Structure 1
Amino acid sequence: MGIKQNHIDTFSQLLTKDQLPAPPLWDSDVTDSTVPPFSDKLMMYLTGFLFGTAIAYYGAGLGATMRTDLTLNYEHFILEDLKFAEDWTDVMVKNQWLEQPPKAADKRKLSES
């Protein structure tokens, strides 16, 4: 099961348990085509953008909710998405679709010079 499918299932179950309607899924929009309509670079960029947006929304939800059962889910999902974002960055850099982000200087190495 994919990361986001797990998130959808978890929140849908919480809504159903509280007798609230879960939003419909867009699974019906998936085709059986094997020809990609967009480039790998564009799809990777959009995937990273959407995961970043999800992290921001989970953070907003975490700050606004008063339900402790939701805070645990938000925290867990933020950590999952951050791990994915790290892997996403590695793939983007490897394919030269994204520059290596700046890193902190290695102070031990600098002090040896």
Structure 2
Amino acid sequence: MNWIILIVAGLFEVGFTSCLGKAKETTGSEMYWWYVGFLVSLVVSMLLLMKATESLPMGTAYAVWTGIGAVGTVLIGIFVFKDPTTFWRLFFIVILIGSIIGLKVVSH
């Protein structure tokens, strides 16, 4: 169950980084709503990370959390913000996903 909590925490990390990106592109009240989304996502992500680390090793949980956030943020960047897609970016994203899976496999 704590692995599921950790994955959800990582997805909220993607949420708060994406909200920052959208806030940067907007102005006025819409910008403030993106900042509200950032704060809510940040708080939820941190609370879930804290919950997950009650039974998972801190180093493993943090690495997985940041890995999910990094992969998700790069994918959001590619699909939403039209960041460039190159062979090497995709290659290293696949390596990062493999590393996250590897940490799950070797953790007790």
Say which structure is richer in helix.
Answer: 2
Q: Which has the higher contact order (CA 8 A, sep 6+)?
A: 2
Q: TM-score, normalised by structure 1?
A: 0.46
Structure of higher CA gyration radius? 1
